[in-house]
């Protein structure tokens, strides 16, 4: 029997605030958490700006991702069933262990392997079963949500906890700098003069539950994860496909698994990194699938590119957007690029509150899409 | 996770299996074996013997995990009789696992960055500092356009990989799934599908799993699959 996967609980910490509600409030009013950044030693690799979470203390007790995760998960621990299957999405997790070890400080690089973090999260939440790490570059958490929803639909699990986290490390900043991907000031997704991405950090969770159990436990239904699709460009290690074919395939798969007609999609939470190739590729993909422009936005000018957490942030924002029927503005957008005209806006856009699409792509050519449906929407 | 095998639904089947270990390699269904001194020599031999349809692109630039993943994937695909490469895209998912993710490449990237007095990282190293890149590299080398991901578990990563691959096949996420478990010194790759018929002998995965003593890694299934192919 096919079952629906319901989002019954979620929260996150981002540069815009300590919880999802604060983050949403800042997003819809066009605020940005991208600001001057001075976490690690000054040098060419340190970005001048990044979207960082207030109050994190490097080198003091917990690693930075655990400092982000602990308060979020502890706030909701009572609502997370101990039999939930944990899927942890991250790209670099606790990479500071490796940074310290390589720099000759007392630390073990092996502790940076993400399966170690999964064991910590399992203990932090009090889950019965070991966690599984799902890593698919910057689409990691979208792929994890897709897998979690698929497990519930297939009856393999009754509840799945997707946890995602990544932080702005010297390691990651040096890498993105070396690729020339960082914006000199701030990410401006879909803008005519966009010049790169802003790094960001965030951590959070999404609890999915089989609809029957959710009903039996009188859980709040925030949205249904109605469809999902994942594909690979099989083309280039860093550059997205110029045609958007791979992402279009992922979107079509997601719409098909949700049995949703493209005309019924009310809004799109795009990956929208602010790099020229990514944003152009996404618009190509959207144009392949949708006959008319759909209200589209990116949150990365506001919360930065949160890497493995990006898909979780986007999914949560998409759920919030469905709840109120408003697509938040694209922070950083001044003048939409030619192909983005009529799709994106620097102001909030009203949209159909029934079905939303969320998309992410990542290094290695991975593409992913989720279809989220408002709970009371007709099937 | 609950194994999708427990409900009596017919399992997936193994259509090809390749492995590399201790300076030896094999494609088990076809009974191809050989030895080598280093991975570049192995790549050349696999091309000469027609096992790889073309040389692995950018082989010298790949990190060890990507080289190993590409080679075991090539062995498994050839073993299954699947001609991959060129511009023909195939609906095959790629799921990879390993004990330590991309730890060694991470270490190399950051050490290089520190050696250069924190001026700049090397982009050519940075692109391999994601656990999922070996799976993506396999998808690029063989033009496999299904989902790709790295899955990790502190518990039993071999079992995890097979559970997820079977679930993906059951859901119809892709027509076939290429799984691999690699380290810097060796690896195992296998191709799974659910098609009812196909060329040559295949190994029923449910039977393989019942006979494999442990699935902490994928390595224990090699002997079982070999026997099933020979049966």
Report the complex ipTM. 0.95
Catalytic residue among A212, A271, A351, A375: A271
| A161 shares a domain with A251 | no
| A184 shares a domain with A38 | yes
CA gap A31, A28 in Å, rounded: 8
DSSP state, A328?
P
Query: pLDDT grade, residue A1 (50/70/90)?
Result: low
| A239 shares a domain with A159 | no
Average pLDDT over residues A77-106: 97
Is A372 a residue whose pLDDT tops 70? Answer: yes
Q: Is A294 on the interface with B (CB under 8 A)?
A: no
**Total number of domains constituting chain A:** 2
| A212 shares a domain with A82 | yes
* Nearest one of A359, A348, A195 to A286, comparing CA atoms: A359
| Second-level CATH architecture of B13-230 | 3-Layer(aba) Sandwich (3.40)
Question: What residues of chain A lie within 8 A of the CB of B1, using their CB?
Answer: 85, 129, 132, 151, 156-157
DSSP state, A238?
S
Is B8 a residue whose pLDDT tops 50? Answer: no
Q: Which of A84, A154, A175, A235 is the best substitution to test chain B (most B C-beta atoms within 10 A)?
A: A175
Question: What residues of chain A lie within 8 A of the CB of B120, using their CB?
Answer: 44-45, 174, 177-178
pLDDT, residue B2, reads 38
Please tell me which residue, B165 or B204, carries the higher pLDDT value: B165
pLDDT, residue A85, reads 98
pLDDT in tens, A252-299: 999 999 999 999 999 999 999 999 999 999 999 999 999 999 999 999
pTM: 0.96
β-sheet bridge partners, residue B188:
B19, B181
Task: Please tell me which residue of chain A has the smallest CA distance to B160.
Answer: A132
| A303 shares a domain with A172 | no
| A188 shares a domain with A116 | yes
**Domain stops at, among A216, A239, A272:** A216
> What is the domain extent for residue A351?
226-373
Where residue A35 sits, what CATH number does that domain have? 3.40.47.10
Chain centroid, CA B191 distance in Å: 8
Query: pLDDT grade, residue B87 (50/70/90)?
Result: confident
| A285 shares a domain with A169 | no
Residue B45's contacts (CB-CB under 8 Å, 6 or more residues apart) are B34, B36
pLDDT in tens, A21-60: 999 999 999 999 999 999 998 888 889 899 999 999 998 8
Q: What sign does the CA torsion over B115, A195, B147, B82 have? A: negative
pLDDT, residue A123, reads 97
Q: Which of A38-47, A149-158, B59-68, B180-189 has the lowest mean pLDDT?
A: A38-47
pLDDT in tens, A55-85: 999 988 899 999 999 999 999 999 999 999 9
Is B6 a residue whose pLDDT tops 60? Answer: no
* Nearest one of B171, B172, B170, B156 to B209, comparing CA atoms: B156
Using CB atoms within 10 Å of the CB of residue A1, give its burial: 0 to 12 exposed, 13 to 18 middle, 19+ buried. exposed
Q: Are A191 and A332 in contact (CB under 8 A)?
A: yes
CA gap B33, B47 in Å, rounded: 14
Could you tell me if residue A281 is inside a domain?
yes
Is B9 a residue whose pLDDT tops 90? Answer: no
pLDDT, residue B197, reads 59
Average pLDDT over residues B14-38: 96
Q: Which of A207-211, A232-236, A341-345, B71-75 has the lowest mean pLDDT?
A: A232-236
Average pLDDT over residues B44-71: 93
Query: pLDDT grade, residue A378 (50/70/90)?
Result: very low
Q: Are A107 and A152 in contact (CB under 8 A)?
A: no
Question: What residues of chain A lie within 8 A of the CB of B100, using their CB?
Answer: 110, 113
pLDDT in tens, A150-177: 999 999 999 999 999 999 999 999 999 9
| A181 shares a domain with A67 | yes
Query: pLDDT grade, residue B3 (50/70/90)?
Result: very low
pLDDT, residue B198, reads 57
pLDDT, residue A165, reads 98
Could you tell me if residue A192 is inside a domain?
yes
pLDDT, residue A324, reads 94
Q: Is B96 on the interface with A (CB under 8 A)?
A: no
Annotate A14-44 with b (16+ C-beta within 10 A) or e (fewer).
Answer: bbbbbbbeebbebbbebbbbbeebebbeeee
């Amino acid at each position: 029997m096919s079952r629906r996967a319901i989002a019954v609980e979620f929260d996150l910490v981002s540069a815009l605030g300590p919880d999802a509600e604060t983050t949403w409030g800042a997003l819809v009013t066009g605020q940005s958490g991208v600001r001057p950044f001075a976490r690690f030693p000054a040098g060419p690799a340190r970005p001048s700006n990044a979207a960082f979470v207030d109050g994190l203390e490097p080198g003091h007790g917990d690693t930075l991702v655990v400092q982000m995760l602990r308060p979020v998960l502890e706030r909701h621990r009572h609502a997370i069933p101990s039999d939930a299957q944990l899927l942890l999405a991250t790209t670099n997790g606790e990479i500071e262990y490796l940074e310290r070890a390589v720099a000759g400080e007392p630390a073990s690089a092996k502790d940076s392997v993400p399966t170690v973090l999964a064991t910590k999260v399992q203990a932090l939440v009090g889950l019965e079963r070991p966690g599984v790490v799902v890593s698919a570059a910057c689409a990691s958490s979208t792929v994890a949500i897709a897998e979690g929803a698929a497990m519930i639909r297939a009856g393999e699990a009754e509840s799945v906890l997707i946890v995602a986290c990544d932080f702005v490390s010297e390691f990651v900043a040096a890498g993105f700098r070396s690729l020339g991907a960082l914006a000199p000031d701030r990410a401006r997704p879909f803008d005519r003069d966009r010049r790169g991405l802003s790094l960001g950090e965030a951590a959070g969770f999404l609890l999915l539950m089989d609809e029957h159990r959710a009903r039996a436990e009188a859980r709040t239904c925030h949205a249904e994860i109605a469809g999902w699709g994942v594909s690979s460009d099989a083309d280039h290690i860093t550059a997205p496909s110029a045609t958007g074919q791979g992402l279009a395939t992922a979107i079509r798969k997601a719409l098909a698994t949700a049995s949703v007609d493209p005309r019924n999609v009310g809004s799109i939470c795009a990956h929208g990194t602010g790099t020229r190739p990514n944003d152009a590729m996404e618009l190509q993909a959207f144009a392949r699938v949708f006959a008319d422009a759909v209200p589209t936005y990116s949150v990365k000018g506001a919360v930065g590119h949160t890497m493995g957490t990006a898909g979780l942030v986007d999914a949560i924002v998409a759920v919030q957007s469905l709840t109120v029927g408003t697509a938040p503005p694209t922070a950083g957008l001044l003048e939409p690029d030619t192909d983005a005209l009529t799709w994106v806006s620097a102001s909030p856009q009203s949209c159909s509150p029934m079905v939303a699409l969320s998309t992410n792509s990542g290094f290695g050519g991975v593409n992913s899409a989720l279809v989220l449906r408002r709970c009371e929407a007709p099937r | 996770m609950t194994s999708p095998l427990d409900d009596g639904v017919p399992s997936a089947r193994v259509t090809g299996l390749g492995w590399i270990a201790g300076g030896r390699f094999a494609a088990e269904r076809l009974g191809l074996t050989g030895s080598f001194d280093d991975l570049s020599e192995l790549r050349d031999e696999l091309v000469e013997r027609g096992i790889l349809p073309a040389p692995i692109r950018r082989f010298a630039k790949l990190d060890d995990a990507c080289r190993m993943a590409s080679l075991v994937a090539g062995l498994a695909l050839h073993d299954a009789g699947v001609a991959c490469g060129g511009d023909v895209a195939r609906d095959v998912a790629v799921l990879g696992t390993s004990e330590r993710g991309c730890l060694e490449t991470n270490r190399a990237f950051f050490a290089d960055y520190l050696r250069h007095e924190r001026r700049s990282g090397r982009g050519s190293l940075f692109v391999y500092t994601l656990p999922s890149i070996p799976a993506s590299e396999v998808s690029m080398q063989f033009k496999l356009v299904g989902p790709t991901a790295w899955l990790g578990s502190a518990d039993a990563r071999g079992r995890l990989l097979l559970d997820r691959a079977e679930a993906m096949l059951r859901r119809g996420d892709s027509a076939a799934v290429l799984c691999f478990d690699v380290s810097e010194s060796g690896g195992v790759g296998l191709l799974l599908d659910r098609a009812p018929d196909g060329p040559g002998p295949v190994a029923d995965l449910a039977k393989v799993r019942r006979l494999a003593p442990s699935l902490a890694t994928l390595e224990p299934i090699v002997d079982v699959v070999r026997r099933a192919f020979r049966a």
